[in-house]
Amino acid sequence: MPEIRLQRLRPDHAPALLAFERENRAFFAASVPDRGDDYFTHFAARHTALLAEQETGACHFHVLVTEETGEILGRFNLVDVADGAADLGFRLAEKATGRGLASESVRQILKACERTYGVTTLRAAATLTNTASRTVLTCMGFVPTGEEVALSGKRGLRYVREVATGAPPSA
């Protein structure tokens, strides 16, 4: 079985990341907001902008990469990092689902939050139709806040998790 590793986003990931997004666009659109045609048209500039934003510490972008081929199987991103909190977002290639890769990647993100990024509280959101992501979040200790959110017009739920303890934040 090929080795699969979570890596911090780098400039050389761009071609594989674009291929990942194109190959899985229809799959993703069934449960998460579609990125739109503009995303693909201006991908190179967007990738450069994301890397610049990552350098500021406001975001931390990660890709799940097959070591042997460089193929990207997933994205795991921390955005809006401020005051010890961040929003987690992730997507996994259709062919990589059902293997525990999302859960293991989120576990690694949690460790990076605690050890490297100084993030103590993570927030996430998932559409009601995205059962897989909601299951990953719940299994990784995220709890629903009760707040409903709209994700590109789709109904969703917000989740939260304390990083060090795995417990929901105290009110």
Structural domains of the chain sorted by starting position, each given as residue range(s) with its CATH number in brackets: 4-162 (3.40.630.30)
On the question of pLDDT at 168 being above 80, the answer is no
Percent of the chain predicted with pLDDT > 70: 94
pLDDT averaged over the chain? 91
pLDDT in tens, 113-128: 999 999 999 999 998 9
pTM of the shown model: 0.90
Stretch 87-96: mean pLDDT: 95
Helical (H) or strand (E) element with 77: strand 72-82
Task: Please tell me the predicted confidence (pLDDT) of residue 171.
Answer: 44
